[in-house]
Every structure is written in C-alpha cells, then in structure tokens.
Amino acid sequence: MPRGNRGSRVGGFWVNAVAQVTGSLQQALRHAGSALAKHPRLALEQSEEILKVVPGHPDAELLAATALRLLGRFDESLQRLDALCGRELPARQHAVAQLESGLVLSALGRGDEAIVALRRATRLAPELAPAWNALAQQLDAIGDEHGAAAAQTRFLSAATRDPELLAAASALAENRIPDAEALLRQRLRKTPQDTAALRMLAEVAARIGKYEDASVLLAYCLELAPAFDAARANYATVLHRANHPEESLRQIDLLLAKHPSDAAMRNLKAAVLCRIGGYDEAIALYDGLLLEYPAQPRLWLSCGHALKTAGNTGRAIAAYRRCVELDPSFGEAWWSLANLKTFRFTPEDIAIMQREALRDGLDPEQRCQFEFALGKAFEDAKRYEAAFAHYARGNEQRRRQVAYSAEECTARLRRSQAVFTREMFEARRGVGCQAPDPIFVVGLPRSGSTLIEQILSSHSQVEGTMELPEVIGLTRELKQRAEHEGLGSYHELAPRLAPEDWRALGEKYLERTRIQRKTDAPFFVDKMPNNFQHVGLIHLMLPNAKIIDARRHPLACCFSAFKQYFARGQSFSYEQAELGRYYRDYVELMAHYDAVLPGRVHRVFYERMVEDTETEVRRLLDYCGLPFEESTLRFFENRRAVRTASSEQVRRPIYRDGVDHFRGFEPWLAPMAQALGSVLSSYPDVPRFDAEPVAVLAS
C-alpha cells in the first residue's frame, strides 16, 4: 500500500493518514512521543493536533495527559486520565493509563489513590516494568519494606531483556538467593562494569544482611554511572541499614535535590533522622507524608514512634489510635500503645484485641504482639493469671521466630573471662584513645538503665544520646578481621592487637558517634545494655571512659524483660530458663571484671536508687567526676528524646511501682527462679561461681 493511503486500526475502525508532514497516524504518534521527554510542550501541541483529526484517540489522549504531567499541569492531566480510564480499553493500554494516573496522583500528594492506581496497572499488565518501579517507590514511602522489595524485584524481572540478567532477576523474584548470586557473579566476570548486574548483586547482599558488601557494590556502580538514581536510592538504604547515617543522608539529599517530592526518600530521611536524634525534622517529614498517605497505618506508626521518643505523648497516642482505626488487626500498633507503659486500655480496646488476635491468616508476628499487648492490659487490671497466660503465649510464639543458643552465649561470655584477664590489662596499661567523653551504661534490658541515663543527661556537662550500636559494630569488624587471619572470634584476635590498634578503635568509636552529639557538653551517655559483654574491649580502647552497671533484682529484671516484646537484639528473653541463665552469666562476667579491674565499673542498684535517690545520684556523679547539680534530682523535667520502653516512665518522678511488680506473677516464675539459682538467693550480693572449663567456640 502506498504510504499516503496507509491507515491504522483505532477503536475498531480504520482511519486515514492524519498529518501531511509526519505521514501516518502512527508516525505522528511516534513523533509526539519522541518529543515528550525533552519537549513536553511540543508533544502536547502535536497530540492536540492529532486529536483534532481523530477525536478521543486513546494513545493521543495518553500522550497529552503525560505531557501535561511533565509540564506540571496535574489537574488537567488527571481530568483526561479519568475520562480515559473510564473507557473500554485493551488491558495493556488501560494499564499504561493507570500507571500515568498513579504518577499524577503522587505528584498531587494523593499517595493512597496513587497506590490503588499502580496496583491496578500491575494487575492489568504484569510485564509493565515502570508500574512496578513506581509501585515500589510508593510502598517505600509508606514504610512497607517487604512490599517494596517484592515490587522492585518484579520491576527487575520485567525491565530486563538480557537472558542472563533475566535469569538472575527470576531467581531473585523466587528468593533463590544462591542461584541469583552465582548467575550475577558469572555475568560480572565477563562484564565487570555492568551496572545493572552490580545493582542486582548488591540486592543479593542486602537480602542476606551483608549491607557493607552491598554498599561497596553500589558505590562502584555509582562511580560508573553517577546518574543511576535507582542505584543511589538503594545505596542510601543500605548505608542506613549498615549504620552509616551521615553517608546515607548525603545520598538522600542528592536525590531530593533532583526530586524534592520523592516520597520514598523523604520517608527514608525521616527514619535516618530518628536514628541520629533529629526528631523535630523527622516529625515534620512524617506530617507531610501523612497528608499524602492519610490511610496508611504503617506511616502513622512510624510517626507515632517519633512523637513518643520526642516526648509528645498525646500526639503519639493519637497516631497509634489512628493506626488501629485504619486496621484493627495491626498488632504492632496495639503493642505500641501498651509499650507506652503509662497508657491504659479500655474494655472496648481489650474486646477488639481479643477478637483480632484470633483472626484467621493473621501474620504470626502481629499475633505475637497482640499477646504482649493483652498481657499488659490484664496486668493493669490486676488479673495476673490471665496476663501471664498472654505473656507466656507471646513469648512462646516469639521464641519460635528467633535463633538463639544459650550454650553458645555462655561460652562466649566465658571466653571473655579467659581472654580479658588481669595480666592482659596490666600488659596494655596506657593503650587506647585517652578521650574521657563516653559514659557507658551497661547491664540487662529493663534494669533501670534509662533512669540512670535520664539522671546523667540532666547534668549540664552530660548529653544523653540513645542505645548506640557502635561498640557492637566494632566487634563485628574485629570478627571479620579475625576470620581473615584464620581465627574464630574477636576474643582470639584481641591479644594480637598492637597499641595503635586499640587507639584506632577508640578514635573510630568517637568518630562514628559524633553525629549523635547535638550539644557542646563534654560527656555523652551510650546506653546500649548489651555492651556489658564487651567491657574488656571498652576498657582497652577507651581507658578513661566511665562504665556504669545498672542492676536490678533478678526476678524483677528478668520478668520485666519477659513481658517486653523486643523488636530485635534480645533473643535470650523469650524463655524463662534462658532468661535466668543469661542474667546469671551476666552477673558472673561482671564479677570477673570487678576482680581483674577493681573499681573500674560503678554499680547502681535500682532498688537503692528508688529508696535513697539523692545519695545514689551523688555517688554516681562522684564516680563520673562531676559536681552535684540539683537538676539531676529533677530528671523528670528533662524533655530530651528517650528511645526506650521506659521513655514515659522516666518523664515522671521516681516511683516504687517497678520494684515489686513481679510479686503478683511469682506462682508462675519457678523456671526463671531455678535458672537464677544462687544469684537470686544472694542478691544484691554476688555468689561464688564455681570454676568451670572455658568453652572455645566461634562467635
């Protein structure tokens, strides 16, 4: 057929060529489409010319709507798209229209509607890669990490045309991690600068928790392709997960400079800011996101957490309440209300939780959180048997979700005793970074450590931070170095470290924690309780740092941990005998340090702090070399952010409620008491621990 007579099939009928200059209708559409990215105004004009000749042509309408979006004329774009989506269209064409609607709705700040449109697009055309990518960004924006990761994997599969990369993407989509890794490494051996393969291999590393490896791969990917925004977004995320907040914020700000309205990056920035104490800015970001996504419970939850930590309890409760209004089966939101400690559930709340906890198909983690929340509700009502039944079920379910070996934990702590001896310390006297800045508060969770931190941070020379992960991060790096040298643990490496190594460790700790310091106070508190395992390391790398051991009655402390749902990091706390054994191991290790480093660790007993607060506070400040200040006795007036389960409790004067709270539950605590043994019967004194052989296991 001669070119001038060629037509195109549109809406079930044939149309003739429509443009003398550009030729056929399809050529006109292609010409307008090619102008879209760089010259949207020209694309709009050409689309309108086509529509004069072929009114209502769906492809031309879609081009016009897209051009209007790119020109920032969102309302006009959406009006056209609504009309287009209301017509009967082929599935692929309808999917593209829904994708474009999702993009426009997002630009208008109507995020909930954008998600609905994008989900429609992916259902209509699962092969439509941009729809999966846009959906992943929207799910990132509302904090749905699992959903976003799944959508991103579908995007990789849909976007890839290369057979090798398609095979790797399919393996990722099916969570066949070893297969995906093998395929990608094979690809990169042939083409080491393949940025798509590098990004996918970084995804493999992130899936298995190797965030440092993922960040190295993504840094190289961005070195090769600086404009690869999707890789930069991944890089910002893995830097956050690897606890490099400054670097993560740098990448986020680069992306936001190009795309200020990027909701996923604004959400990530809020999360990073919460990690470094920037709660006011984080709350402002969450407030903005909630205007765009008002029906997303997880976003309300994140905002509630930030508000709670910042001390805005009323707004935090309102945010958590909004979560459960939107989704009554959201167990984490109910537990967040319970975790305020000072909050009390109504009978109606309890009835809803009891009903929702029995819902078929409820996620096991959500069901577990319901049990802990119900336990708190019944405990507040002094219905101890019912409360304990819920706590016991919650702990049983949670224990199945975590990997923990009490035997390996005991061996690890015994190994510390074998390595960090009096002789070890004497031979290394004077090593390490001499800075006196940190005050470490160690012990077990729920031991009163937050109270100590609040008292100290009420002093003019001390800044409170949070439970900092830097010491544990350093032990992981030392373990990797040990493995490279053929050793099983960092304890085996420690005797081989040179004086400059110990100084470098202390300096690295101070450098990494600097971002947490917001004032010019000379001292700061690191309240990570688990650091009791690393007292020897702390002493050698920071010999002038203060170390405070927060100790509480064994049953009070252990039961308080038993009824606490921990998001992560306290895997020993979900079985009574394991909890008692862990407390006993902790007391034994601290007794060892009392013997080999006399006077190095200052101990604060919670019960004594409650009974005679001023005396104990003065002793504490004397140990820290600080003059007494009245403000430390009025710690409850300190409005600093507190990021632990005790946040609301330390915002009121000292009370006796927590001292004997376990008494109502004693009939059910026999396994815990038996595991504690002489540590319980001799408290607050320390029993003599029989000498036992030290197990040497890799940790």
Q: Does position 290 have pLDDT exceeding 90, yes or no? A: yes
Question: What are the C-alpha distances in Å from 269 to residues 312, 473, 610?
Answer: 20, 22, 39
Whether 94 contacts 75, CB under 8 Å: no
Higher pLDDT pick, 173 / 389: 389
Averaged over 295-321, what is the pLDDT?
Answer: 94
Asked whether the whole model's pTM tops 0.75, one would answer: yes
Answer yes or no: is pLDDT of 203 > 80: yes
Mean pLDDT of the chain: 90
The residue length of the chain stands at 699
Q: How many CA atoms lie within 13 A of 263 on its CB side?
A: 32
What local confidence, expressed as pLDDT, does residue 342 receive?
A: 86
Is the distance from CB of 58 to CB of 89 less than 8 angstroms? yes
pLDDT of the residue at 2: 34
For residues 88-93, average pLDDT: 91
Mean pLDDT of 465-469: 89
Largest CA distance in the chain: 102
Q: Is the pLDDT of residue 89 over 50?
A: yes
Reported as a single tens digit per residue, the pLDDT across 192-202 is 999 999 999 99
Provide CB contacts within 8 A for 605, sequence distance 6+.
551, 552, 684
Q: What confidence score (pLDDT) does residue 197 get?
A: 92
pLDDT of 15 above 90: no
Helices (H), 208-312: 211-224, 229-241, 245-258, 263-275, 279-292, 297-309
- Dig out the tokens for 84 from the structure: 């287009």
CB 390 within 8 A of CB 411: no
| pLDDT tens for each residue of 232-288 | 999 999 999 998 999 999 999 999 999 999 999 999 999 999 999 899 999 999 999
The predicted pLDDT at position 14 comes to: 26
Domains, the chain, with CATH or none: 161-260 (1.25.40.10), 297-401 (1.25.40.10), 406-682 (3.40.50.300)
- Let me know: does 672 contact 558? Beta carbons within 8 Å: yes
Has residue 535 got a pLDDT over 70?
yes
Helix (H) or strand (E) holding 524: strand 523-526
The pLDDT-based confidence of 690 (bands split at 50, 70, 90) is low
* pLDDT value, residue 158: 84
- pLDDT of 519 > 50? The answer is yes
Going across the sheet that includes 601-605, the strands are: 462-464, 523-526, 438-443, 546-551, 601-605
pLDDT per residue over 111-154, tens digit each? 999 999 999 999 999 999 899 999 999 999 998 988 998 898 88
pLDDT band at 25 (very low <50, low <70, confident <90, very high): confident
Question: Which is nearest to 599 in space by CA: 653, 528, 561, 548?
Answer: 548
